[in-house]
Amino acid sequence: MNDVVGLDEGNSPSPLVFSERKLISMADEFKKTGVKRRTSAHRDFARGETGRGPSIPTDLANNPRAGQWDGRRLSKNIVADYKRFIVTDGEGIRCSLYVSGCPFHCHDCYNSSIWDFKAGHEYTQALEDQIISDLSLDYVQGITLLGGEPLLNTPMLLRLTERIRSEFGSSKDIWAWTGYTWEELMREGETPDKLELLHRIDILVDGRYISSLHDSLLQFRGSSNQRILDVAKSFEAGHAVIWDKLHDQERFIPEMYGKERAATEGALENR
């Protein structure tokens, strides 16, 4: 089971570690309260603009103009969570930093509770030092930046990624999830801090979560419009290049195991 490290009131990693069973229990209790995920009216702020990437614009999320949202102004240097040694947020064993704040407001967003840029705890030197310490372990492949919208939290993430590259070079990879598409990030007029951070990222999962395109068989994505991109190859080619290790499932695993178990039990009964 994965362990999740919370952030305590002192804004540093807490010694309290929740088991996966405890998290499931907490989620069930949350459902019983009747609290629903936040919803939002959506707008296309770049109406009429074409070539913005797969399924964009969408009426299930906000669609910004180039440079409309500037992380240098929006970010409050707040993080919602930091998780160590997990395998769900990219390739290998990773550490994941969940930043706060996202104006895309995708319909049915799993993390709508951290759309607010002030939701969470301050990013501190102690937390940064903990991240660097965790990344120094040989079995940790890299860090994942998600949230929230990483490309609108550039003040703290440029600082963190600069230190990661300084201390580890390219031996630790950096993944990031963003609501922007590659094509949107390449538009003239986009803020330079986004591109600066993008140049330090190895793998980018791009695009809004579009609930009508949800697919549980996708690798590291929630909806079929989203892509896993090799950032260096994309810059070199001048267009989005899919990660060469992409491997989506062809069958839903619980269903697959259920059918195989039923077939096995049937064979045993017929003996």
What three-state secondary structure class fits 51? Answer: coil
Q: What is the C-alpha to C-alpha distance for residues 159 and 175, in angstroms, rounded to an integer?
A: 16
- Residues contacting residue 61 through CB under 8 Å, at least 6 positions apart: 42, 104, 105, 106, 107, 179, 208, 209, 210
pLDDT at residue 250, rounded to an integer: 77
Q: Which among 140, 127, 60, 130 has a CA at the least distance from the CA of 94?
A: 140
Which of the four pLDDT bands, split at 50, 70 and 90, describes residue 227?
A: very high
Q: What is the pLDDT of residues 89-117, one digit of tens each?
A: 999 999 999 999 999 999 999 999 999 99
Arithmetic mean of pLDDT, 25-40: 47
Arithmetic mean of pLDDT, 225-244: 98
Percent share of the chain, pLDDT over 90: 76
* 50 C-beta neighbours (distance < 10 Å), count: 8
Which of the four pLDDT bands, split at 50, 70 and 90, describes residue 35?
A: very low
Whole-number mean pLDDT of the chain? 86
Task: Please indicate whether residue 262 or residue 77 has the higher confidence score (pLDDT).
Answer: 77
* Domain extents in the chain: 4-269
Which of the four pLDDT bands, split at 50, 70 and 90, describes residue 249?
A: confident
In contact, 207 and 234? CB cutoff 8 Å: no
Q: What is the C-alpha to C-alpha distance for residues 168 and 187, in angstroms, rounded to an integer?
A: 31
Percent share of the chain, pLDDT over 70: 77
Q: What is the pLDDT of residues 145-170, one digit of tens each?
A: 999 999 999 999 999 999 999 999 99
pLDDT at residue 259, rounded to an integer: 57
Which of the four pLDDT bands, split at 50, 70 and 90, describes residue 34?
A: very low
CATH assignment of 4-269, among 2.40.128, 3.30.1890, 3.20.20, 1.10.3470: 3.20.20
Arithmetic mean of pLDDT, 189-198: 98
